[in-house]
Structure 1
């Protein structure tokens, strides 16, 4: 019997071949896993870069909006209101037309309110509850408004944060007036060392959240919430009003 025909030799070769196949398969599996890991890391890096780009774009958009709002507010305050005030004073001195004077006074009041809404004055020196009270005051002509301010710690008091929160409230109230046909609005603000929560409830006609979540107002709200790294939930039932919940953690 030839040496290669011996059972021991055959078993040895089978063992060598099996080990070779195992090693080859192991190498192939290792290479495939390495390739997949490389692909996953590249995808993760691409996703992170895209996320950073979106965050930077969002931040730039919000800041650009605020700069433009401030510019328009300054133009209204320094230009329009100044001229209307001068005209009103002239009418008071030279003319006794009370209706014209009252119309000018009303125009000045409206222009001042628009200017304040665009850019709240002295926002850096004003606490958030006071800013909200000033914001809500003109709307009390259209809505019955109640408020609760549960301030356990003065946190998130940065100018940027306060401005964006007031923008959120403005957007909610505008939507309430335009679409909800509400007569009552309740605002509850709670600040602690760990978080700030804001709840806004109206008694309007409500809506189906799943079918009506793509409007411009909703997108504006979500954009600002994302900018502030917060969360926002809406609860609404047709005929039973709407509740907006916001939560911002203190980091």
Structure 2
């Protein structure tokens, strides 16, 4: 009988094989457990990050609303009420009120502008394109504006959708007026069967998206875009201008 055929040798090899299999299975079990724990930690970290992001967006939304209320209150108190008080004083002093028709006209215009900021008139019956055209007018006073329209279909948007898009564009236009110092702005609006696409490009000073991505204005835009289940991207570099892209796929009522 060969040595390897002896029962003792066979038993030894069986024991070694079993031990090897036990060690291999133990190693695999430990490895799987470690991988599983890592996946769980990653999922928890992602969930915490998403929760933190949602909290930041909510906080930004509340902050923006409060700032807007303060601005409107300031407009009413400092501009409108001041002029109305001046008219009242002149009236009490028996002054000829007809001399202050310009002051009355200015007060009416202020009231109209404040009302328009709160809710654009006949918003429900005005197309999104016409609303954007109206918003561009103040921008034209500061820079050259080119508005390109590509309507392959024409959606009927909900009033809430139009309000949110207008607020987003107001934020972008205000940034261009206040910070970009651009000489040219190109606005593209495209409606297709699949989506609404808006692109706003300026040749202004630009900014570093890494440093300014946490600004209140950008957070406000992201909050509204997320509310509309859309996508928002911004490309910008110092002295290279800025390009903002808005894409909305769930747009029709």
What is the TM-score with the length of structure 2 in the denominator? 0.71
- Give the whole-Å Cα distance in 2 for the aligned partners of 1:81 and 1:71: 15
Match runs of 1:51-130 below 5 Å: 51=50, 54-55=53-54, 58=57, 62=61, 95=96, 98=99, 100-130=100-130
Using a 3 Å threshold, how does the CA distance of structure 1 residues 87 and 244 change in structure 2: closer, same or farther?
Answer: same
Asked whether the 8 Å contact 2:191–2:197 carries over to 1, the reply is yes
Q: Deviations over 1:113-136 (max 9, x none)?
A: 233224334434432112212322
Aligned match of 1:230 = 231
Aligned match of 1:40 = 39
Q: How far apart are residue 189 of structure 1 and its match? A: 0.8
SS state of the match for residue 243, structure 2? strand
Q: Which has the higher contact order (CA 8 A, sep 6+)?
A: 2
Aligned match of 1:157 = 157
Structure 2 gaps of 5+ residues are none
Aligned match of 2:179 = 179
SS state of the match for residue 33, structure 2? helix
Asked whether the 8 Å contact 2:60–2:219 carries over to 1, the reply is no
Q: How far apart are residue 230 of structure 1 and its match? A: 0.6
Size of the aligned set, in residue pairs, is 245
Using a 3 Å threshold, how does the CA distance of structure 1 residues 159 and 236 change in structure 2: closer, same or farther?
Answer: farther
Match runs of 1:20-31 below 5 Å: 20-31=19-30
Q: How far apart are residue 7 of structure 1 and its match? A: 4.7
- CA-based RMSD of the aligned residues comes to 4.2
Structure 1 gaps of 5+ residues are none
SS state of the match for residue 182, structure 1? coil
